[in-house]
Structure 1
């Protein structure tokens, strides 16, 4: 039986005195709650009240710096890691592989989530049932990039339903939808909840009729729980607290005071960061290698360099290692910063390195400490490797113009000596470049984990 129609093992989630702060600012202030099973639950409140933060923590999307007395599922103590394993999280901004069709996106998710535990026939059956149930069967061959906002949300949810999560978190699933689309989305989520799933949504703004479609409401104001219970009882609760709601007011509007696709897929257990990083590296390696060899050999030939086997092979080796190093550095900047800032900062760091690498200043004119520093930089060592390949090894006699009385640099080894480069030492350059390449690759892996804000799972303990 497909994952969608399983009704057993419903989950009731209970948390007590959940506390979260960033530096000295308290976001959640010892709040507690109990979310009933097989229910559509609305987490509502004013902007900045802590709705999304609560969802991020309960889904184990970013539980760092969070603490509580206990977390329970069906009355049994648990932790954030277990919550992550039985749940899925759909963020507000839906990120899909836009170039893939609806069916291809589903197959992609099924292959990663189900692996070899299910045959291809079983996977196809699950995909077909989910697409039929989610109203996407007529769009199998439509590219995800051409879907409407509501259809993208349904596709993202259908992908996560493949692994049969017991708890489903959605961050503002109705944002950007019109009234009709909002009703259809909530009706669809209510149908999923009726099949045994605990569906928890943050809602920023919703009309009164839509608000009453929820089975349970959890109201957050200023990082504290203001109300939890049936939406239909909210008005009476506020009235009893001395805050009567005007008959013309919407109860949901009345109370007291995102690398994103990868982040979602890593969190929802498609793959690990290490697996993603290695796959990107393996896929990029042949393309970048072929590009570097083609472009550099074209330059080598057009500049009239000797077509000697030893020089050509060494030139190719240096080109590949240098290309891998610069590619790793670019990838590192890309994981740390957004696109524009990465390009700007990467360019700014290259200028001083070029200046002290013998391109603008002769090595003997560079201060001693700066010279030693530049010898460890990939720009200078890469340049040295290229110079050894082109002008080193066996001495070359460069052509001297007929009108020139004397050509000091006609002997290539004399030129290499002026640059303080051993004409026969290419291994030093390769070693330094290899160290750079490996080190930056390792650093990039950890910067990627930092950028994705992957959780470090800790026991849920009291701060009191």
Structure 2
């Protein structure tokens, strides 16, 4: 790095505000009131990049390459709050995603850590990416969310008391301790943003990336958010964020500015050096004009095309003359002024917790755990345990996924049981009994499918954030969410099956009752598996529209509308792959098969007095219950494995 030169102060060029609200750009006092924010240089992490290019292909038939970043260079130092700015489409979010490791394909150039090419897996462990949307679990309280994160992100060597002490320390630091019992869905926008930051601080990251941290916040809350980021940076971390159009006050709080336009770097340096830098190209900011707005106007070409001149002047990010090694812009005295405002109650009191951290290294060391080696802070088994607890807690509070599902099954069971009351013991109602069994197949299938299809896609943004930030492996999450929902689905299914079985007066024989209940559970598990698969590859809207195509075409081959022997020879193979056929056969055999005796007849004539005659007419005389069970269990396993790989591809596509 070249020796930096001092730059003139720009206080006179910034929009003037009352002294009570102004943040002055002041030098660091040797023993000032905020000397507590200073840290040793040991273990600091500087993030850099050299000749960074990002190319995408556009078009459908002729896919033409287009560069969104063009050999940009830069370095973001530890202890600085860095802002990446630029107009829409300039490449600032693309640059952020590449630096965070969120975007990896189509990237050329070098990503550096402390001047050396970084090892991606190691860097990901020591960094975090807080996205624009908070993506929090809405049904968890603040303390529950922090506890789950602590159990996943802190080593198993830490005791429960140590984890809770850490949670309390961070929540108190960001002024959320008094809201610890509030569900995240009831938090304000600023509180959600602070909670998102707190969740990642548990891992003690050395590098923190923020995508539009002030998006959707009012001016006061935005100022408090940026102030918190500044204090986090002052503890020695590298804090990098994209920001679109900050106010003049917020703009002054940044230590380092990296400006992009059309995929090039047009400025890299201190905030106070921006306007003198632009003046070298005869770009003079008008009086009482926000320098941040002026920068965006210049980058957008409102004053002419100066991109090439500014890129040459900044050497596409290589020019370090406008950097200030002294970090005068840390504004410790301004932070002291903010502390006084917090004490007076004018703004929300927040502060960065004093955290020491280890030096980042480029290695592949893996922590040994009781479940084998893991690249995550805690073991695979512990991840499943924590995620199962969280999922059960969410399910217990989810009215749609739990209470509505159970009440729906109970309500429909009472209705159908009343409608078909007593049909199971009379030969004159064999066809009605068959209709009841087919309705049961369709009802269990649709309810199990829709419950998962409409809820699982909403989890994807949360999974993406947590998995990317190394909370847990995708295998542990999928296994936990799969295991957690099975008991609820089984309770709802068994509730429907038991009520309808006895209200319709099916034979009271233990093996028949068990066979009926077991087949009902298998039907619902197959449908639930299809729901997981569709939810993993489609959003809610497309899942509701296209999801039924997974099973509705097979209803015609279920044996209810058309029997096997009556169908066209070339289409009979479809009967053998229809899980609805096997589900219906399993229920019919449970109540009418296994050599059931002669049925009583209350009418003048009953055609199906002997159940074997009915089975023969329905082409079920050779059906085997065991075959249906094997087919359904195999289908559950195959579809759930396919759903896992679909989820894995979806997560990779998002990252």
Q: 2-side partners of 1:386 and 1:22: how far apart?
A: 54
**What do residues 268-322 of structure 1 show as CA deviations (whole Å, max 9, x unaligned)?**
2221111111111221122212221221222222222111222112212212222
Q: 2-side partners of 1:439 and 1:159: how far apart?
A: 36
Which residue of structure 2 lines up, in the alignment, with residue 460 of structure 1? Answer: none
Which residue of structure 2 lines up, in the alignment, with residue 437 of structure 1? Answer: 636
Q: 2-side partners of 1:301 and 1:171: how far apart?
A: 58
Which residue of structure 2 lines up, in the alignment, with residue 77 of structure 1? Answer: 117
Distance change (3 Å), C-alpha of 1:421 and 1:104: same
Which residue of structure 2 lines up, in the alignment, with residue 428 of structure 1? Answer: 627
Q: 1-side partners of 2:43 and 2:129: how far apart?
A: 19
Q: Choose which of 206, 218, 229 in structure 2 pairs with 1:166.
A: 206
Which residue of structure 2 lines up, in the alignment, with residue 91 of structure 1? Answer: 131
Distance change (3 Å), C-alpha of 1:5 and 1:145: farther
- The answer to whether the 8 A contact 2:523-2:583 is kept is yes
Bigger mean CA deviation after superposition, 373-382 or 199-208 = 373-382
Q: Choose which of 39, 44, 47 in structure 1 pairs with 2:88.
A: 47
The equivalences for 1:36-435 within 5 A come to: 36-63=77-104, 65-253=105-293, 254-257=297-300, 259-404=460-605, 407=607, 409-423=608-622, 425-435=624-634
User: Which protein shows a greater Rg?
Assistant: 2
- The answer to whether the 8 A contact 1:388-1:423 is kept is no
TM-score by length of 1: 0.90
Q: 2-side partners of 1:355 and 1:21: how far apart?
A: 49
**Shift of the alpha carbon at 1:227?**
2.0
**Shift of the alpha carbon at 1:145?**
2.1
Distance change (3 Å), C-alpha of 1:361 and 1:376: same
**Shift of the alpha carbon at 1:399?**
4.0
**Shift of the alpha carbon at 1:222?**
2.3
Which residue of structure 1 lines up, in the alignment, with residue 336 of structure 2? Answer: none
Q: Report the number of matched residues.
A: 450
**Shift of the alpha carbon at 1:193?**
0.3
Give the gaps of 5 or more residues in structure 2: 1-36, 58-64, 301-457
Q: 2-side partners of 1:201 and 1:69: how far apart?
A: 21
Q: 1-side partners of 2:151 and 2:141: how far apart?
A: 15
Where 1:390 maps in the other structure, the secondary structure is: helix
Where 2:562 maps in the other structure, the secondary structure is: coil
Q: 2-side partners of 1:367 and 1:359: how far apart?
A: 16
**What do residues 168-204 of structure 1 show as CA deviations (whole Å, max 9, x unaligned)?**
0111011112222111111111111010011111101
- Runs of 4 or more, structure 1, over 6 Å off, are none
Alignment RMSD (CA, Å): 2.3
Q: 2-side partners of 1:370 and 1:245: how far apart?
A: 76
Q: 2-side partners of 1:133 and 1:305: how far apart?
A: 64
Which residue of structure 2 lines up, in the alignment, with residue 459 of structure 1? Answer: none
Give the gaps of 5 or more residues in structure 1: 457-464
Where 1:231 maps in the other structure, the secondary structure is: coil
**Shift of the alpha carbon at 1:6?**
7.7
- The answer to whether the 8 A contact 1:58-1:80 is kept is no
- The answer to whether the 8 A contact 1:62-1:453 is kept is no
**Shift of the alpha carbon at 1:29?**
2.9
